[in-house]
Amino acid sequence: MLRLKKLVKTYKTGDQALKAVDLEIPQGQVLALIGPSGAGKSTLIRCINRLVEPSSGEVWLEDTELTSLSSGGLRRKRREMGMIFQEYALVERLTVMENVLSGRLGYVGFWRSFTRRYPQESVDEAFRLLDRVGLLAMADKRADELSGGQRQRVGICRALIQNPKLLLVDEPTASLDPKTSRQIMRLICELCEERGLAAIINIHDVALAKMFVQRVVGLRFGAIEFDGRPEELTPDVLTAIYGEEDWEATIEKVEDEDEVDHPHGGFDEKAGVSAL
C-alpha cells in the first residue's frame, strides 16, 4: 500500500539524510524504523507526507504518487496518513475532545473548521475512540491537565479520527517512562491490527520495537542497513546498524525489568488509566 522508490533527501545544508531508499509496506503491516541519531528516520517519515519535501524519488500511496501532487491533491491525500508525534502536538488550552476532533479538520469546510463545529457523527466517533483508549472520563479536561501517556493517547485518537490508511509515528514514546512507553506501543499496534492499518513507527528503543512489531527496518547514514524480523536482529546486525554503541546493555536493562505488563496484548483500560 506504500512504496518508496529511490527516495532521496538532501537538505540545503548539504546533509544527505536519505540516499535512494526503496521500501514497500503492505496493507496492515506495522514496521519499526530503528537506527542511530541522524540516520534519517524522521526525515523518512516526513518525506512520506511531505512535511519535508523529498529531493527526488517517488512515494506511492496505493495508486497515487505523492511527490507530484499539487497542494490541493496533497491536502486530500494527507487525510489518509495519520501522524503521531513525540511531543504530542496537542493544543494545550483546548479540551481532550476538541483536540481529538481537530483530526477531522482536513474533512470539514472552511466555516465549520473556523467555528469548530463538527458533525455529530465525528463527535460520536471521538467518544468511541476516547473510550477505546481509556480516556472517556477525560473528554472535557484541558490537554495541559494530562500526563504524558494520556496526551499521547489523545494524539493517537486525533490521528485515528482522520480514518487514515497509514499511520506515520515519530518517536511516540521518547518522552515517556518505560512502562507507559510499552502501554503506548501496545495500544498503537493493537489499534493498527483492529483497523487493518499499516504503520511506520520511528523508535529509538530497539527492545521496545522487538516486543511489538513483526518487521524492523534499520537505517544507517540514510540507507537501509537491515530489513527483517525482530529475531534476526543479532548482535552483529545491531552493530552494523548502530556501530559499536553499547546497545546490548540497553536491551538487557529493559528485559530484566521484573514487570512486563500484558505480554500477550489486551490493554487493561482501568489499569492503564490509573497507572498514568
Which residues here bind ligand ATP, judged by CB under 6 A? 11, 13, 15, 17, 35, 37-43
Closest approach of ligand ATP to the CB of residue 110, in Å: 30
Task: List strand residue ranges (DSSP E) for 13-89, in order.
Answer: 16-25, 30-34, 56-61, 64-65, 81-84
Cβ within 8 Å of residue 38, ≥6 positions away: none
- Residue 179, number of CB atoms within 10 A of its CB: 15
**Which CB, 246 or 259, lies closer to ligand ATP?**
246
Closest approach of ligand ATP to the CB of residue 179, in Å: 22
**Which CB, 129 or 241, lies closer to ligand ATP?**
241
**Which CB, 17 or 207, lies closer to ligand ATP?**
17
Closest approach of ligand ATP to the CB of residue 46, in Å: 8
Nearest to 155 by CA among 125, 179, 135, 137: 135
Sign of CA dihedral 78, 83, 87, 89: positive
**Which CB, 55 or 163, lies closer to ligand ATP?**
55
Length of the chain: 276
Rg, C-alpha atoms of the chain: 19
Cβ within 8 Å of residue 252, ≥6 positions away: none
**Which CB, 40 or 134, lies closer to ligand ATP?**
40
Cβ within 8 Å of residue 128, ≥6 positions away: none
- Residue 150, number of CB atoms within 10 A of its CB: 22
Closest approach of ligand ATP to the CB of residue 54, in Å: 12
What is the residue type of 238?
L
**Which CB, 129 or 208, lies closer to ligand ATP?**
208
Closest approach of ligand ATP to the CB of residue 18, in Å: 8
Closest approach of ligand ATP to the CB of residue 171, in Å: 7
